[in-house]
Structure 1
Amino acid sequence: MIDKIYIEKLKSNFSEAVRVILANKIRTLLTSLGIIFGVAAVITMLAIGSGAEKEILAQLELVGVNNIVITPIPDETENENEDAADDGAIAAKRFSKGLDMLDVISIRKNIPSVKTVSPEIVLETYVIKKGRQSAVKLIGVSTDYFATANITIESGKNFSNAQLENSLPVCVIGKKIEKKLFTGESAIGKQIKVKDVWLQVIGIIEEKIISENAQENLGIRDLNKDVYIPIKTFLVRYKDRKIISDKQIDLSGGGMIMVGGNNQGPKKRIPRGNYHQIDKLIVQVNNSTELNATADVLSRMLKRRHNDMLDFEISIPIQLLKQQQKTKQIFNIVLSIIAGISLLIGGIGIMNIMLASVLERTKEIGIIRAIGATQEDVILQFLTESILVSIGGGIIGIVLGIFASYILEITTGIETILTLSSILLSFFVATLIGLIFGIAPAKSAASKSPIEAIRHE
């Protein structure tokens, strides 16, 4: 019986709250603007945060947790002090053999913290199938490459040691290459012609979704469009820059040529271009705690092997990602503060309007108290109105936040992920704001004396 009476009170309070809100539509809308924008900001913030977290995890999967990346620095610029050289001569630059397979062997042999070493050579070329030519990237890799780069071979198999050692013409291709060249059929066992060499397809890698942001920030290729061959096959059947650059050095006297037509003329150094045998070296360590120490040892070892020439760059992708994640977290914190301020302002707005409503309805409060309404009834009435205003603003804010998240993703390319939990959290926050900031006006209304309220003009 008590529960039934309480339910009837709630229904009555709800109906009265709706009536008051509809009677003051513009004022209610203006009151709830802070809640609307605050909730929209919360939803957008959480969507951006979820998208950023997903992107960071995806990038971690691509670069590997315990990987160190070594990239060569090509010699593409002439001596900056050319005009200032004594007697018109340019000081000879130290000779470096460049990053090569001998470095790979040395790293494997001498650094105990290293688990695997995976060299890569990249050649932009073309593939021919049924008379059609398509651009591809040809990648020379070792058997450890796919495990080191967290790439799964979906069908077929990895290169065998025999295929690697004997420089056999075999390849593993990306999923998009298979779809393009072998529509509706498996590529395993088929032949493709890459540049001038026929290669047998022995494996297909699992398709990976790689964002443009990841490709740009981490230097990651679209792996789905690559053709992978054993690195020795690449060096024997396609291109070995080490052999070419050594010949050029012999012809040019260690990188110096004579300009002016006689032996007394000024000397000018020829930039060697990309003289490195390999384009990237991924070193995987046994434990993430050994990353910095191993990177330091690698730097000192390679510098010594390259005749004190710093013609390479060492980076630890996981540290770059952590820095990127920290930056995004700071951005989310700033956005959270803005959302919190909007919600606070919205709550204060609700409290002010409800206090004004109490003053406007003082006589009404006195009458309902005189006919038997208790202080609890009055508090419940004004709390219901406050919560309904806040919930209404929250619903509009949720719709606006969802819309803003989609627009943000379309216009900026920032991935946003909307979740049910973020929507429910926003709805709960909106309701809580209405409850908290509605208490003071409700108590103010309930504390009025019925006789004085009725006499109020």
Structure 2
Amino acid sequence: MTTRIKYLISRYYHDVLIAMEAILANKLKSFLTALGIMFGVAAVISMLAIGRGAQQEVLEQIKLVGVNNIIVTPSEMAVDGGNGSGSGESTKRFSPGLTLLDARSIRETIPSVAKVSPVVSLNYHAILGARSYPVVLEGVSPEYFELLNINLVAGTIFGEQQAEAGKPVAVIGDNIRNRFFNTEDPVGKYIKCGETWLKVVGVIERRDFTASASDELGISSTDNKIIVPVKTMLLRFKDRARINPEVLEQVSRGGGNTQENNNTNQSKDQLDKIIVQVDETEFLSSTANIIKRMLLRRHSRIYDFEVTVPELLLKQQQKTNDIFNIVLGAIASISLIVGGIGIMNIMLASVWERIREIGTRQAIGASRKDIIVQFLSESTLISVSGGMIGIVLGVVMAHLIHVMAGIETIVTLFSVVVAFGVSATVGIVFGYLPAKRAAEQDPVESLRA
């Protein structure tokens, strides 16, 4: 096998050298011929980089919202869920809104549910010494950290006993630590939020997230949050389910049932969100339907809540992105085909321009294989050279897209190998016809031309 390879190299080495000399002798023509391949390869690499970046962004969003999670949120508009009883009946019914009892019922009733965390969010100012900083105070269960894959860099999360007792303990985000505890370990220290002093038991690692994830899926960074047990939030800060003295006063004056009062009052929902994790992905849709029916029954047949499955939405988005990326890749690949056609046209024209050279080589003993190897090597070298330049251009384009358009791009070795392989294949495929045409020339007719 080795001997055969050595023979082929020695046999056609001179033909390849002639092809290289022809390329160097016509630098401008060779460069213009390779332009189509350059831009084709660059387009393929940049498009694949955009597709890979979009895929990675979806995976990061899935990580942020958690795997197999279902999110229940209050709805801004209550809709009658009765059996055709009319739109007016929903105004006569009372719904308690999203409550802690809803979260407990979901956990205890549905077998496919693995973990549940209620979420209450309020805007506060954290105070320590003379420093004040606006924060998001969030009340959750200990399972919240596992549901959303939140890791700590120091300390621990609060335990079940602390959560059940409503202890004033907190886990703080990275911005809170940098703001108040930049030169010391915050674990074990106290920070004031509102009128309550909270003991810091843990610090969350910094998490990057995209604005699209925040807008579409209702998630946000933990860097600016102080996370406490949900019962601590309800007992020590605010419980929207409690009867408001101002409302009682309005009702006693006869104005409690007006639409104006309903618009000015704060949300009646005790919780801002319930995060539910299902055991298996296959149970996501069925569990979401069960949760919807259960809450509809608990809320007096009023749809004042929404049940969403972020993972399914993201997978649908990923599927859409994949289809879009295939279309982009196909469009980019067309430029490679156009570049290959350009190589074939130039090489066909080159055959007629160098007809006397072909006849001379055949007259002094060059075989048809020698002529084929010569012109095929020339087209392949042009294509491969264009492909190599196109790879560099594609990486630069991907970086510029990321910097100027803010679109995540990831250039992978796979995309580089594919683009380079396609460029070499284009040179061989589209260079074979001119090479074959050159080899079929009659030496006598070629010398007469």
Does TM, scored on the shorter chain, surpass 0.5? yes
Displacement of 1:258: 8.0
Displacement of 1:448: 1.3
Alignment correspondent of 1:123: 122
Q: Say whether residues 1:188 and 2:181 are aligned partners.
A: no
Alignment correspondent of 1:60: 62
Alignment correspondent of 2:397: 404
Letter in 1 for 2:60: A
- List aligned pairs for 1:307-346, cutoff 5 A: 307-346=300-339
Q: Say whether residues 1:48 and 2:50 are aligned partners.
A: yes
- List aligned pairs for 1:71-82, cutoff 5 A: 71-74=73-76
Q: Which runs of 5+ in 1 are unaligned?
A: 77-85, 260-265
**Is the 8 Å Cα contact of residues 117 and 275 (structure 2) preserved in structure 1?**
yes
- List aligned pairs for 1:111-260, cutoff 5 A: 111-244=110-243, 248=247, 251-252=250-251, 257=256
CA distance in 2, matches of 1:238, 1:390: 69
Shift of the 317–91 alpha-carbon distance from structure 1 to 2, 3 Å rule, reads closer
Letter in 1 for 2:330: I
Shift of the 336–3 alpha-carbon distance from structure 1 to 2, 3 Å rule, reads closer
Displacement of 1:30: 3.1
CA distance in 2, matches of 1:253, 1:72: 28
CA distance in 1, matches of 2:287, 2:90: 34
Give RMSD over aligned pairs.
2.8
Q: What's the secondary structure of 1:123's corresponding residue?
A: strand
**Is the 8 Å Cα contact of residues 16 and 373 (structure 2) preserved in structure 1?**
no
CA distance in 1, matches of 2:256, 2:399: 60
CA distance in 1, matches of 2:329, 2:65: 30
Q: Percent identity?
A: 47
The C-alpha deviation readout for 1:285-338, integer Å capped at 9, x for no partner, is 122111111111111111121122211111000111011101111111111111
Letter in 2 for 1:352: N
CA distance in 2, matches of 1:354, 1:21: 11
**Is the 8 Å Cα contact of residues 74 and 274 (structure 1) preserved in structure 2?**
no
Letter in 1 for 2:437: S
Q: Say whether residues 1:375 and 2:368 are aligned partners.
A: yes
Shift of the 37–148 alpha-carbon distance from structure 1 to 2, 3 Å rule, reads same
CA distance in 2, matches of 1:42, 1:254: 71
Displacement of 1:170: 0.6
CA distance in 1, matches of 2:254, 2:363: 104
Shift of the 188–106 alpha-carbon distance from structure 1 to 2, 3 Å rule, reads same
**Is the 8 Å Cα contact of residues 112 and 287 (structure 2) preserved in structure 1?**
yes
Displacement of 1:55: 1.5
Of residues 417, 421, 426, the one that matches 2:419 is 426
Letter in 1 for 2:41: V
Moved more, 339-348 or 241-250: 241-250
Shift of the 317–409 alpha-carbon distance from structure 1 to 2, 3 Å rule, reads same
Shift of the 130–211 alpha-carbon distance from structure 1 to 2, 3 Å rule, reads same
Shift of the 270–440 alpha-carbon distance from structure 1 to 2, 3 Å rule, reads closer
Of residues 393, 396, 407, the one that matches 1:414 is 407
CA distance in 2, matches of 1:195, 1:241: 16
**Is the 8 Å Cα contact of residues 15 and 371 (structure 2) preserved in structure 1?**
no
Which TM-score applies when normalising by structure 2? 0.90
**Is the 8 Å Cα contact of residues 75 and 274 (structure 1) preserved in structure 2?**
no
Which TM-score applies when normalising by structure 1? 0.89
Shift of the 245–297 alpha-carbon distance from structure 1 to 2, 3 Å rule, reads farther
CA distance in 1, matches of 2:394, 2:301: 56
Of residues 433, 436, 444, the one that matches 1:440 is 433
**Is the 8 Å Cα contact of residues 255 and 271 (structure 1) preserved in structure 2?**
no
**Is the 8 Å Cα contact of residues 177 and 225 (structure 1) preserved in structure 2?**
yes
Q: What's the secondary structure of 1:65's corresponding residue?
A: coil
